[in-house]
Structure 1
Amino acid sequence: MRILLTGGTGLIGRALCRHWHEQGHELIVWSRSPQRVPSLCSGARGIGRLRDLDGAAPLDAVVNLAGASIAGRPWTASRRKVLWSSRVDLTRELVAWLGDQPSRPAVLLSGSAVGWYGDGEQRHLDENSPASRADFGSKLCVAWEQEAERARQLDMRVVLIRTAPVLAPQGGFLARLRLPFSLGLGGRLGRGEQWMPWIHLEDEVGLIDFLLQREDCVDPYNACAPQQVRNVEFTQALAQALRRPAVLPVPAWALRLALGDMSVLLLGGQRLAPRRALEAGYPFRHPRLDEALADVLHRTGK
């Protein structure tokens, strides 16, 4: 297949490139730094503008994963503009370009996040649950998906991938936790009762590849592991995997004071099930947290 990726130089994009390069697919990455793509993305070539593909051979698929880090820094007014532009505006530009092409790819797989649901508190959630729209993160995901859904008007199959925090050997949210937990300085966030969906990088890649191949798969899919855990359970599992104590909880008030609105990412949560992935028959390789953490930490030499 001939596949165009946005966000190809990110954590998930690089892993997808490795996977698809081994399968023999032709990979093109739209990037702000196209010259860096060959060294970061296995077997891919970089382009700096979508118009660089005008008149080229038709694409078979587009995978849209672009987006500045949602947790990289507090959600100031300027940061919100960056987050919006890198997701919503970029997806709008991508779909508009696809609409101008004489031959369009069959499918658009477009990224989103479990933040679409906002803070679900104790409710059981799946793909049929409504969006929250109560916080910036949820509003951002809703607008992001709406732009991707416009590709349906181009007779393209559209799949929306609502990704949970990804467990990976390098990068991802675990990279921020590894040092304090390794030093015995980790602990629950707030009361630790918030639900904390997660997914192993191998299952993120595996599910995206699965959805790419399955022509009957459309609309949203939750990219999260089947096992549902609370923050306190995740904290205990990570501490146990590192053979360290976890005795320094972070008070909710301190997180709200330091992070403002962005604290919902840590103090809110989603009791989320990957219902549609399971119904479609996707076989999770790492369905349990203790095994997933052991695998990731083994790969890092911890």
Structure 2
Amino acid sequence: MKETILITGGTGLVGRRLAALLAKDYNLRYLSRTPAGSNQFAWDISTGFLDPNALKDVDHIIHLAGENILKKRWTEDRKIALIESRVYSTKLLYTALEKAGRTIKTFISASAVGYYGAVTQQQAFSEEDPAGTDFAAELCMLWEKAADLFEDPTRCQRVVKLRTAVVLSAEGGALAPLSLPIKLGLGSSLGKGTQYMPWIHIDDLCSLYKYALTNTDVAGVYNASAPEQCTNAQITATIAKYFNRPLWLPNVPAVALKLALGEAADMLLEGSPVSTEKIQAQGYKFHYPALDAALKQLLKKEE
């Protein structure tokens, strides 16, 4: 008998790729605001509704849902929406599980390396380091705290939280906006360019979710980032190399990004390396540990 996984955020970039990876070995269900299939079930975070049929015989929950943090300026209303999509959705899942009187084997929640805050330093952050003090860090901290509700042994046997770096994919995400100006011959680094930009190939991220799912000794929080740590300038230069484009323009001024994005610009202008020693010590081997090989595979696929 195949085990059953309930996935939130299944229509997103990571959700689609992860579903393709898991479909052969698991029965998959999805939560959606507009369900359109027999394996899709309704939920509404704003009203606190979740179809109880979604939880019937579910063994695992993978929680990916969350509004795009850089899609809009961080007005007060936008900040509330970002919190609701991550924190309230997690609490809704736990409440629904509690009402159903069910116990699942695994709850795996997305988080982000933004947990450590928009700061630039040379020393890599490990999972034991404290949260930062800016909004993105506070958002991640609240997100993870909500996931900790599932530490209740009467409802869940194991909780995993993956602090995700910038996801590189040929199908969407950060790579396209990073690549487009370079293709047009207008590429340049952001701000000083010396800020780190932790990244991960989408195949590694999805493999990490599956690894966390199938290895019961994996529990707690892990940095989901490639081992090789690169600055924004290094990533920009490596992409330019593959498109054979010069980088002749000066760096994009920090003030321009702040005018365009407001407070959210700090996520692009600051960044530190993060350690992947913990997940590697658990036995995970990265398919794309280095940027050069990751971009070669992704950009070749894009051509």
Q: TM-score, length-normalised on structure 1?
A: 0.93
The partner residue of 2:286 within 284, 287, 290 is 284
Give 1:187-206 correspondences, 5 Å limit.
Answer: 187-206=188-207
Q: 1:232, 1:297 → 2: CA distance?
A: 18
**Residues 227 and 276 of structure 2 are in contact (CA less than 8 Å); yes or no, is this contact kept in structure 1?**
yes
Gaps of at least 5 residues in structure 2 are: 44-48
Q: 1:151, 1:24 → 2: CA distance?
A: 24
CA contact (8 A) 1:114 1:270 kept: no
**TM-aligned CA deviation for residue 180 of structure 1:** 1.0
List aligned pairs for 1:46-85, cutoff 5 A: 46-49=40-43, 51-54=50-53, 57-85=56-84
2:162 corresponds in structure 1 to 161
Q: Does 1:230 align with 2:231?
A: yes
Aligned length: 292
Instruction: State the one-letter code of the partner of 1:130.
Output: P
Three-state SS of the structure 2 residue aligned to 1:34 is coil
Structure 2 distance, partners of 1:269, 1:114, is 9
Counterpart code for 2:68: S
In the other structure, the counterpart of 1:20 is: 22
* Distance change (3 Å), C-alpha of 1:101 and 1:252: same
The sequence identity of aligned pairs, in percent, is 39
Q: Secondary structure at 2:204's aligned position in 1?
A: helix
Give the deviation of 1:274 after TM superposition: 1.2
Which amino acid is 1:212 matched to? L
The whole-number CA distance in structure 2 between the counterparts of 1:221 and 1:118 is 16
Using the TM superposition, give the Cα deviation of residue 257 of structure 1 relative to its aligned residue in structure 2, in angstroms. 2.1
> Residue 30 of structure 1 contacts residue 47 of structure 1 at CA under 8 Å; is this kept in 2?
yes
Is contact 2:35-2:42 (8 Å) kept? yes
User: Which letter maps to 1:77?
Assistant: E
Could you tell me which residue of structure 2 aligns to residue 181 of structure 1? Answer: 182
CA distance in 2, matches of 1:83, 1:247: 37
* CA 55–188 in structure 1, closer or farther in 2 if over 3 Å, else same: closer
1:196-240 deviation digits (Å, cap 9, x = unpaired): 100000000001100111111111111100001111111111111
Mapped contact 2:195–2:271 kept (Cα < 8 A): yes
Please report the RMSD computed on the Cα atoms of aligned residues, expressed in angstroms.
Answer: 1.5
Q: Secondary structure at the match of 2:72?
A: coil
Task: Tell me whether 282-291 or 100-109 shows the greater mean CA deviation.
Answer: 100-109
Q: Comparing 99-108 with 5-14, which one deviates more in the overlay?
A: 99-108
Partner Cα distance (1:13, 1:250) in 2: 32
Provide the rounded CA distance (Å) in 2 between the counterparts of 1:53 and 1:137.
Answer: 32
**SS class of match (1:156):** strand
Partner of 1:151: 150
Q: For residue 274 of structure 1, what is the aligned residue in structure 2? A: 276
Which stretch of the first structure deviates more once superposed, 45-54 or 228-237? 45-54
> What is the letter of the counterpart of residue 46 of structure 1?
Q
Q: CA deviation at 1:256?
A: 1.6
User: What TM-score does the superposition give when structure 2 sets the normalisation length?
Assistant: 0.93
Question: For residues 21 and 269 of structure 2, what CA distance do their matches in structure 1 show?
Answer: 34
- Measured against aligned partners, the alpha-carbon deviations of 1:3-43 in whole angstroms (never above 9, x if no partner) come to 0001111000000111111x2311001011222xx6xxxxx
Residue 179 of structure 1, CA deviation: 1.6
- Give runs of aligned pairs for residues 243-258 of structure 1, distance below 5 A: 243-248=244-249, 249-258=251-260
For 1:45, the equivalent position in structure 2 comes to 39
- Separation in structure 2 between the aligned mates of residue 56 and residue 291 of structure 1, nearest angstrom: 40
Contact 1:58–1:104 (8 Å) recurs in 2:
no
Distance 1:56 1:239, change over 3 A: closer
Aligned to 1:41: none
Counterpart CA distance in 1 for 2:220 and 2:111 is: 12
The one-letter amino acid paired with 1:110 is S
**What amino acid sits opposite 1:59 in the alignment?**
V
Provide structure 1 residue ranges, at least 5 long, that are not aligned to the other structure.
39-43
